[in-house]
Structure 1
Amino acid sequence: MPNDATVPYEENPTHMIIWLDVSIGDPSRYQHLKKAFSSKSDPKHETPVELVDADYDEILRVEGPLPIDFEGVYFLLAAFTNIESCINCFAQNQDKRIFFITSGSLGRDAVPIIIERFKETFTDPVTDEPYMSIYVFCHDISLQIHQALDYRDYIQIFNFDADLLSRMIRDIGDYFLTESKRLLDESPPNNAAAYHRLSWTKELYYRYTKMEKVSMKKELGEVDQLLEDVEEELRSSSDEDD
């Protein structure tokens, strides 16, 4: 693995999660759930919080406010209870790749507005293909199908938090892999930035395999090969500079 001399800086991930939900958006509620989503989707977090642990049920039963302590974690999640604040967050973070979670009820009004105003946020700038990175989190999927049909190129629907989290982790990993390949295609290749994104991809893919109990041997093999190639290029560049 390259040392500090060959990888001169370490970037912060440029993605974030925006969550719109009357209950989950309340700062005093569902803090463990939000902490799990934030840390699990952050590839730089060395000890991500598990979605379910021994005191999870008790945490969700607490009605009063709980102190929020993210232990210095770079917080990648912003949660809101109303559409206006959510839209303001989109407007202030147009430089980021946003993964948007919404409840079914608020999403009915929010999704059309957000797609109209921030369509580029959900569109690949190179291929012009839509990103399926709007996640509707609801109790009954059948009630959301009609809404989703109008935005089927952008929406995925879930009724279980673990399924949503694992899918989003995979999607974020795929995003970093695509970004790394494009950085390597630049002239000259941006090897340092590509290295970080490949490392993030590998970490997120590992988390996905653990959550879903599936193999990603082919995908991880591709990432490992790219990392090996980039490391060799970085070593060569470092030797030339010495």
Structure 2
Amino acid sequence: MSVPSPVIIWCDVSFETDGSYQSMKDEFNEITTGTPKQDPDAMDVSILNEEMREFHSNNVPLVFVRTIDDATKKINEHINDKVFIICSGTIGRALVPIIAQKHLTVHDIYIYTHDFALHADWAMMYVQMIKMFDFHTSLLIRLTHDISKWHIEQGKSYLQLNDSISALKYFQQAHKLETAANKRGETDWNLPGTATRLHPTAFLTYLKQLEGEHGLIAQAENAIRARGLPVQNS
């Protein structure tokens, strides 16, 4: 059984114009590079390219769309999946209300903007749904941790259903993502002074849940061995 993955739907008007963000898409889809242009709220493409590699290597699919209509269509296509949305503040102003009204299963929306105050008027109405960031690395770290948390929750559900093989795959996937996110958090890019900066120990609790003699990975492995089956390493 392969591990089901959540889906990241990334909406940005620059994706289809004049090659903007093309290197990011190529890095994810073909592991190539390019020379994109950036708009005022564009993220640092050199960092994003590396992040796309990490998502790709950890089996987390990304869907790139340009318009709000395309974003809502993709959400409908993935109605049975765990959907994470990334968009700019400008797009979020229009897209978040649509999601709130029509796509009640989507609860994880990441807004990237250089100016929180510019979007305070509408964002305050959706504080339970959105997470706002003015620093791209903090956004990507938080996203990775949240995807990892989703895998842990799925693994626990399978463990309760006595499907320890599926549970182990979820836990192993979560461990890979946690390791990648914590490594990213230790870099110089995650500088002090950013309003949304995550404390480096904020998510160590997830690794503690997964690792160790009594951790979730060990629990799943022991349950598999108790059934006389071999343990598959990730």
Indicate whether the TM-score tops 0.5. Answer: yes
SS of equivalent residue, structure 1 residue 100: strand
Answer yes or no: is 1:171 the counterpart of 2:150.
Answer: no
Q: Using the alignment, how far apart are the partners of 1:239 and 1:108 within structure 2? A: 51
SS of equivalent residue, structure 1 residue 99: strand
Answer yes or no: is 1:77 the counterpart of 2:62.
Answer: yes
What's 1:60 paired with?
36
What's 1:134 paired with?
109
CA shift for structure 1 position 14: 2.4
Structure 2 gap segments, 5+ residues each: 39-51, 187-199
Structure 1 gap segments, 5+ residues each: 1-8, 40-48, 50-54, 63-69, 123-132
Q: Using the alignment, how far apart are the partners of 2:209 and 2:110 within structure 1? A: 27
Aligned-residue RMSD, C-alpha: 3.0
Question: Contact 1:26 / 1:81 at 8 angstroms: preserved in 2?
Answer: no
What's 1:200 paired with?
173
TM-score with structure 2 length normalisation?
Answer: 0.73
Q: 1:143 aligns with which of 118, 135, 145?
A: 118
Tell which deviates more after alignment, 85-94 or 74-83.
Answer: 74-83
Answer yes or no: is 1:183 the counterpart of 2:168.
Answer: no
CA shift for structure 1 position 35: 6.0
Question: Contact 2:109 / 2:130 at 8 angstroms: preserved in 1?
Answer: yes
Aligned pairs for 1:83-232 (under 5 A) are 83-122=68-107, 133-186=108-161, 189-213=162-186, 214-215=200-201, 217-224=204-211, 225-232=215-222
Q: Sequence identity, in percent?
A: 23
Q: Using the alignment, how far apart are the partners of 1:203 and 1:219 within structure 2? A: 11
Mark the CA change 1:157 to 1:25 in structure 2 (over 3 Å): closer, same or farther: farther
Question: Contact 1:169 / 1:205 at 8 angstroms: preserved in 2?
Answer: yes
Mark the CA change 1:35 to 1:110 in structure 2 (over 3 Å): closer, same or farther: same
CA shift for structure 1 position 88: 0.7
SS of equivalent residue, structure 2 residue 8: strand
Q: 2:20 aligns with which of 29, 40, 45?
A: 29
TM-score with structure 1 length normalisation?
Answer: 0.71
Tell which deviates more after alignment, 139-148 or 199-208.
Answer: 139-148
Q: Using the alignment, how far apart are the partners of 2:204 and 2:66 within structure 1? A: 40
- For 2:210, give the aligned amino acid: V
What's 1:67 paired with?
none
CA shift for structure 1 position 229: 1.4
SS of equivalent residue, structure 1 residue 28: coil
Answer yes or no: is 1:238 the counterpart of 2:228.
Answer: yes
CA shift for structure 1 position 139: 2.2
